[in-house]
């Protein structure tokens, strides 16, 4: 692993080219697959270099949420009103440092993109899962996967569920189905794929524009000429040095989620050609306490006995707030009427206590502070109100019946897992941008190699990575193809 920026290779120094293409794509995950298919569909001669022996990358691990809206066929069939305007307002509101042109394009193009994904050869189930969960347990097509119903966002945009899940049961690996379909579509369109072949350097011509890439496979190296190069080589969560440099807290206790080749090479290749980066210090980190959603009727307090987040927030939002508390310590407190064991016990159950005093002493929280927080919460919850964090009324139930139990959300006790969200700065067309904002001619990036729509854990919605990776992958492929006509 390294933080080293690969050297740029001058086109004049290459004596023998191993091929000449309009578009070369580095990486066959969701972003690279979509870029390749779209470029080929627009008439480009396309080569994909894939470092692994198979396509898929981290996408093949993903559960399969695509964040889409504005009136998709599943939203319509399940009676959920949505518009690109409300989706735009929502995504703008949850973004830490929004890129309005990209959000606008994503929302305006969302229904068309949904149709395009289905046209690869499957249907999202026309069904809705109404529970609060991390992902639909079965093949239900739609659920809420963000903070749409959480204050203040519910006042800023009309909530709608936008988490579309591919029809594969289970928590992980559903998106592999989409990769298989992309591989088939790419083959039908004449896209060449070289497996076990990684891009190692960007090749530039004398005016700094991209002229191709150098590649390496076991026992062999070479260079291909290309009018455009799309970097879709994943993120950097598996590069301990890069994580240590940009997101040091992520390198300490949380598990990192990704595949071996999420080593940031795609990002470093973009930087070598002059590309700028964004949001490199941001990550999605989570240790969900639900399902069962009943647990969200409880209170989350820090070591001072103080609440700090609406407990009905999307799990990575809650987690991001926990990590900001003193000692990254927090507890979920639930009374005996609402106590259930989590389906995925990532936050360990500590114990149960007959009195609030005993519980506070065991947790090391000042007893008077915890009692006062609980009293205030219960008093308002009984009226369906939460003046402090405006938790949704459906999750407001007094926690007044002892004994009380607590789950440990503290970093190092709960099993947090996450991945990085930063990457190359790109235009609405997927062009890699310099610090000045000008594009590096012929260079594109998409998916986790770029900084996509999801910018931090507080605003993250499940499905934005696959959604934006596929959407902006297509846009990059299309724009790259237009350079060769």
Ligand X SMILES: Cc1cc2nc3c(=O)[nH]c(=O)nc-3n(C[C@H](O)[C@H](O)[C@H](O)COP(=O)(O)OP(=O)(O)OC[C@H]3O[C@@H](n4cnc5c(N)ncnc54)[C@H](O)[C@@H]3O)c2cc1C
Q: Tell me if 141 contacts ligand X by CB under 6 A.
A: no
- Upstream peptide bond of 18 is cis (omega within 30 degrees of 0): no
Report the residue from 52, 229, 320, 356 that binds ligand X according to the rule CB under 6 A: 52
Q: Which stretch binds ligand X (CB under 6 A): 55-63, 100-108, 110-118, 239-247?
A: 55-63
Min dist CB 395 to ligand X, Å, is 24
Q: Tell me if 30 contacts ligand X by CB under 6 A.
A: yes
Closer to ligand X by Cβ: residue 256 or 310: 256
Report the half-sphere exposure of 242 (CA within 13 A, side-chain side): 27
Min dist CB 329 to ligand X, Å, is 26
Closer to ligand X by Cβ: residue 21 or 404: 21
- CA 455 from chain centre, in angstroms, equals 9
Min dist CB 65 to ligand X, Å, is 4
Q: Which residues of 258-293 are buried (b: 16+ CB within 10 A; e: fewer)?
A: bbebbbbbbbbbbbbbbbbbbbbebbbbbbbbbbeb
Q: Tell me if 233 contacts ligand X by CB under 6 A.
A: yes
Q: Quick one: tokens of 210?
A: 């991209």
Q: Which of 193, 254, 260, 177 is nearest to 50 (CA)?
A: 193
Report the residue from 40, 107, 117, 232 that binds ligand X according to the rule CB under 6 A: 232
Report the residue from 9, 21, 28, 453 that binds ligand X according to the rule CB under 6 A: 28
Report the residue from 75, 201, 399, 465 that binds ligand X according to the rule CB under 6 A: 465
Closer to ligand X by Cβ: residue 399 or 426: 426
Please provide the distance, in angstroms rounded to a whole number, between the alpha carbons at the two ends of the chain: 39
- CA 19 from chain centre, in angstroms, equals 34
Min dist CB 227 to ligand X, Å, is 18
Report the residue from 176, 198, 288, 477 that binds ligand X according to the rule CB under 6 A: 198
Report the residue from 62, 150, 299, 310 that binds ligand X according to the rule CB under 6 A: 62
Q: Tell me if 261 contacts ligand X by CB under 6 A.
A: yes
Q: Tell me if 266 contacts ligand X by CB under 6 A.
A: yes
Q: Tell me if 199 contacts ligand X by CB under 6 A.
A: yes
Q: Tell me if 447 contacts ligand X by CB under 6 A.
A: yes
Q: CA separation (Å) from 150 to 157, 403, 419?
A: 11, 29, 23
d(CA 228, CA 477): 9
Q: Which stretch binds ligand X (CB under 6 A): 136-144, 217-225, 354-362, 458-466?
A: 458-466
Q: Tell me if 423 contacts ligand X by CB under 6 A.
A: no
Q: Which stretch binds ligand X (CB under 6 A): 91-99, 389-397, 432-440, 466-474?
A: 466-474
Report the residue from 23, 24, 31, 287 that binds ligand X according to the rule CB under 6 A: 31
Report the residue from 456, 469, 472, 474 that binds ligand X according to the rule CB under 6 A: 469
Q: Tell me if 26 contacts ligand X by CB under 6 A.
A: yes
φ/ψ region of 272 (left if φ > 0, alpha if ψ in -120 to 50, else beta) reads alpha
Q: Which stretch binds ligand X (CB under 6 A): 82-90, 106-114, 229-237, 430-438?
A: 229-237
Residues 69-128 that bind ligand X (CB under 6 A): none
Q: Which stretch binds ligand X (CB under 6 A): 72-80, 291-299, 404-412, 445-453?
A: 445-453
Q: Tell me if 462 contacts ligand X by CB under 6 A.
A: yes
Q: Which of 263, 266, 256 is nearest to 213 (CA)?
A: 266
Q: Tell me if 288 contacts ligand X by CB under 6 A.
A: no
Min dist CB 102 to ligand X, Å, is 16
Q: Tell me if 299 contacts ligand X by CB under 6 A.
A: no
Closer to ligand X by Cβ: residue 239 or 302: 239
220 φ/ψ angles, rounded to the nearest 5 degrees: -150, 145
Q: Tell me if 32 contacts ligand X by CB under 6 A.
A: yes
Min dist CB 161 to ligand X, Å, is 14
Residues binding ligand X: what is the number (CB under 6 A)? 44
Min dist CB 293 to ligand X, Å, is 19
Q: Tell me if 161 contacts ligand X by CB under 6 A.
A: no
d(CA 30, CA 36): 10
> Which residues make up the interface to ligand X (CB under 6 A)?
26-32, 49-52, 56-59, 61-65, 172, 198-199, 232-234, 257-259, 261-262, 265-266, 419, 447-449, 462-467, 469
């Amino acid at each position: 692993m390294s933080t080293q920026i690969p050297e740029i290779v001058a086109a004049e120094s290459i004596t023998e080219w191993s091929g000449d293409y309009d578009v070369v794509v580095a990486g066959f995950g969701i972003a690279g697959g979509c870029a390749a298919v779209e470029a080929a569909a627009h008439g480009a001669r396309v080569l994909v270099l894939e470092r692994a022996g198979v396509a898929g990358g981290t996408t093949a691990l993903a559960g399969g949420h695509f964040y889409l809206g504005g009136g998709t066929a599943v939203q319509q069939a399940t009676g959920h009103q949505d518009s690109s305007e409300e989706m735009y307002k929502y995504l703008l509101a949850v973004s830490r440092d929004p890129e309005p042109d990209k959000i606008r394009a994503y929302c305006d193009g969302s229904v068309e993109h949904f149709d395009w994904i289905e046209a690869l050869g499957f249907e999202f189930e026309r069904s809705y899962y109404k529970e609060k969960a991390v992902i639909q347990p079965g093949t239900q097509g739609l659920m809420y996967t963000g903070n749409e119903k959480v204050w203040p966002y519910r006042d800023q945009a009309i909530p709608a569920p936008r988490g579309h899940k591919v029809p594969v049961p289970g928590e992980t690996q559903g998106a592999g189905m989409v990769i298989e379909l992309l591989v088939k579509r790419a083959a039908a369109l004449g896209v060449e794929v070289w497996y076990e072949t990684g891009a190692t350097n960007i090749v530039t011509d004398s005016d700094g524009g991209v002229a191709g890439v150098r590649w390496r496979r076991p026992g062999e190296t070479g260079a291909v000429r290309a009018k455009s190069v799309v970097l879709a080589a994943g993120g950097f969560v598996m590069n301990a040095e890069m994580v240590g440099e940009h997101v040091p807290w992520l390198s300490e206790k949380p598990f990192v989620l990704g595949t071996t080749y999420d080593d940031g090479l795609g990002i470093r290749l973009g930087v070598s050609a002059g590309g700028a980066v964004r949001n490199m210090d941001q990550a999605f980190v989570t240790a969900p306490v639900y399902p069962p959603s009943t647990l969200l009727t409880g209170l989350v307090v820090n070591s001072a006995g103080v609440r700090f987040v609406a407990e009905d927030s999307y799990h990575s939002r809650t987690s991001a707030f926990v990590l900001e508390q003193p000692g990254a310590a927090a507890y979920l407190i639930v009374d005996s009427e609402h106590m259930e064991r989590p389906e995925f016990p990532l936050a360990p159950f500590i114990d149960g206590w007959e009195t609030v005093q005993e519980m506070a002493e065991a947790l090391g929280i000042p007893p008077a502070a915890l009692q006062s927080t609980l009293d205030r919460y219960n008093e308002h919850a009984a009226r369906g109100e939460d003046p402090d964090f405006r938790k949704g009324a459906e999750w407001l139930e007094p926690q007044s019946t002892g004994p009380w139990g607590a789950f440990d959300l503290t970093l190092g006790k709960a099993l947090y897992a996450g991945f990085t969200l930063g990457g190359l700065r790109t235009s609405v067309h997927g062009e890699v941008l310099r610090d000045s904002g000008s594009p590096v001619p012929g260079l594109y990036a998409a998916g986790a190699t770029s900084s996509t729509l999801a910018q931090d854990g507080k605003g993250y919605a499940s499905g934005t990575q696959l959604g934006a990776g596929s959407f902006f992958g297509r846009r990059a492929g299309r724009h790259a193809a237009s350079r060769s006509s």
